[in-house]
A and B are shown apart, each in its own frame.
Chain A
Amino acid sequence: MKAILHIEKLKAYYDVKAFGVDRYVRAVNNVNFDVSEGEIFGIAGESGCGKSTLIKVLYALNKPPLTVMGGRVLYNTEGGDKNPLEIGSKELQKLRWNFVSYIPQGSMSVLNPTIRIKKQFLDVIKAHHKGTDAKEAIKLSEEHVSSLGLPREVMDSYPHQLSGGMKQRVTIALATILKPRIIFADEPTTALDVVVQRGVIQLLKHIQKELHNTVIIVTHDMGVHAEMADRIGIMYAGKIIEIAPTREIFKNALHPYTQYLIKSLPKVGDKTPKASAPGAPPSLDSLPNGCSFNPRCPYAKEDCYGSEPELRKIKAQHLVACCVAEEAKNGKN
């Protein structure tokens, strides 16, 4: 399948200069992977591992102090490959919402509190299709909204009159109104209750099936990845340390950190004592040399402290960035 999104040696740091103290927080540290068309790609990792920063950079939302230090991102659009980080704002504007759209984190305060939902849809449609007149645009949004199972009165109400779950579904409807090819979703379900979260996940899967497009979802909740994602990338200290199909990640993860992550997931019906990974994730401004997991890794040996391990293919579609992946695999059982 054709790669619709190609990411190569991407580096993005927070340049934190406050009163003479000048430090770089290495939130995205040399990330390389491809996403093919029609796939749901999940990016998992704990808070502070740089996954939200990665998705912001992929959508070219980087504003100071977040600066792209190197590498490139390529959208495979009809008009050829485009790097959103380099093309001018005019061209980027054309791509936004038509080719690629974004569902932000924390949906509680994402809608303009002083205008009705209808006007919010109008602003978005008018921004990308100048010609359409208001009535037609509103009719289009109403159809789109009811096709997603939202009640019609939503259009005439203000954000403060809607519940959290409803606001998140409106944001998803907004992001998919112009049928984009790629949807970036940054923790779309974190602030929601379990039942509402299930509704939102079903909505996203329904839209993906409908539009045959690509969804890149970032969340720390492995259960959401298990429900939705076809392939998962595990992120740790600003790097992707393992990419594999969902079944592989859950059944036989290779990287020691992923193993810890999967093993420490509590499940209803399983009371066996579980252990946390020892120590704590490193702070992104003072990373250990070599593999960033070496201070916590029980299988670490010398070349783990040497150069940073690159993602290498172990099996079909299963890549891992670890020098001791084999021992870790048989060490697991």
Chain B
Amino acid sequence: MLLKRLKMEKTERIKGFAQHADGNLLETKDLTKVFTIGKRLTGSKLVAVNSVNLRMKKEKPEIFTLAGESGSGKTTLARIILGLTEFTSGEMLYKGKDITKLKSKKEKMWLKREIQPIFQNPYEAFNPLKKVENYLFETATRSGTNHDKKAAVNDALNMVGLNQNDVLGKYPHELSGGQLQRTAIARALITTPDLLIADEPVSMIDASLRMSVLNFFKDLKEMKNVSIIYITHDLATAYYISDRIGIMYRGCLVELGPVEKVLKKPLHPYTKLLLESIPKTDPEHRWGNEIKMSNLEVKEYGSMGCKFAERCPLASEECRKEAPKDVFVDGRLVKCILF
């Protein structure tokens, strides 16, 4: 199949690049991003991403979920990996290469072909005034496929279960949300990327069609061995498709580990609160106790100790003083002094 040949051809090209690549697809070391609100000096500091350590293996493609509420920094982290936002400190290595060192245009283009994004609202991700095929052909020309562009596009569309005349010649509003999102995925696949960053890819799609897109992500991982970072606030879909999950709160990765462990036997108090707060689709088990509502979001960013201390039922004085360390417990990392 055409794409198989593309894949082989790409691997020779890359071999020349990353001779000394270690086994990691992606690795971040104490990645931090600080936003200053207001003037350069007098403005207040907001630590959106707080020294995050992540590692994804190359041989074993996986679906890794970054879960958390709004303001937890999960989208900022995604934008850093995609290269859309610079980070303030720490290190980020893709296939062993430090992305800040990629200066030449060729290298930057290589990174742009290796990591591809999937956006939340398909109707926003396509220019409403231009035909949908515009991006498909553009990606085909740019991904250096010296084969017939139309064939590459056609193959990509077939892979996502669409055929040509569903999509070509059409404007975005003439397609349904599900079709458009799958076209976006097809576009991302043309450059045979090794890593997809999907930011809330299914939250705008009708519930009944959501499963087909999620199932499709699982096939991508298994058959096309593409690793995916799945960003969501919906833990139910995260449990359904991902292998590992990282829970983020106010920029910190509070719990990181296999989905079975983290979501079935949560340890960190915040993960417990999150899991409890999801409205279960089972009328028998309704919520028992009332929970404490936090009215002081901004202050939590600045607090020295654990960011969850204000709302944590088990918080002690010590929690407020210094930041908790990552502890490896029962197969996952937890950032909490209780362990």
Contacts and interface: CB of A to CB of B under 8 A. Distances in A.
Interface stretch (B3-11, B105-113, B205-213, B312-320): B205-213
B57 interface: no
Interface residues of A, number: 47
A48 B275 CA distance: 29
Given A163-B297, A165-B293, A280-B176, A226 B280 contact: yes
A250 B293 contact: no
B279 A201 contact: yes
Nearest to A195: B277
Interface of B: 69-70, 176, 178-179, 206-212, 214-215, 233-237, 239-240, 263-264, 273-284, 286-287, 290-291, 293-295, 297
Given A223-B278, A260-B208, A270-B239, 15 more contacts: A164-B70, A165-B293, A193-B70, A194-B233, A195-B291, A202-B291, A221-B279, A226-B282, A265-B207, A266-B234, A266-B237, A268-B263, A268-B275, A274-B211, A281-B206
A271 B241 CA distance: 8
A198 B207 CA distance: 20
Given A196-B293, A266-B240, A268-B239, A280 B209 contact: yes
Contacts of B293: 149, 165, 195-196, 199
7 contacts: A164-B70, A193-B70, A195-B294, A223-B280, A269-B239, A273-B215, A280-B178
B297 A265 contact: no
Contact of B295 (A166, A226, A270, A274): A166
B279 A269 contact: no
B236 A267 contact: yes
A267 B280 contact: yes
B181 to A, nearest CB: 12
Given A149-B293, A269-B239, A247 B277 contact: no
Nearest to A198: B277
Contact of B278 (A163, A257, A268): A268
B258 to A, nearest CB: 12
A276 B69 CA distance: 27
Contacts, number: 129
A268 B235 contact: yes
B110 to A, nearest CB: 36
Contacts of A165: 293
Interface string A243-261: 0001100100000010011
B278 A276 contact: no
Given A224-B279, A266-B236, A202 B287 contact: yes
A48 B281 contact: no
A226 B236 CA distance: 15
B239 to A, nearest CB: 5
Contact of A46 (B208, B282, B286): B208
B322 to A, nearest CB: 25
B274 A276 contact: no
Contacts of A199: 291, 293
A260 B206 CA distance: 12
A156 interface: no
Quick one: which of A198, A199, A224 has the most chain B CB within 10 A? A198
A91 to B, nearest CB: 38
A76 interface: no
Contacts of A164: 70
Interface string A216-235: 00001111101100000000
A246 B278 CA distance: 17
A330 B239 CA distance: 30
A270 B273 CA distance: 20
A264 interface: yes
A198 B295 contact: no
A258 to B, nearest CB: 11
Given A149-B293, A195-B277, A268-B235, A276 B282 contact: no
Contact of B287 (A198, A247, A262): A198
A195 B240 contact: no
A261 B286 CA distance: 20
Contacts of A95: none
A85 interface: no
Contact of A274 (B240, B274, B281): B240
Contacts of B212: 275-276
Given A193-B70, A266-B239, A271-B239, A48 B206 contact: yes
A276 B236 contact: no
B275 A198 contact: no
Given A46-B207, A268-B239, A280-B178, A247 B283 contact: yes
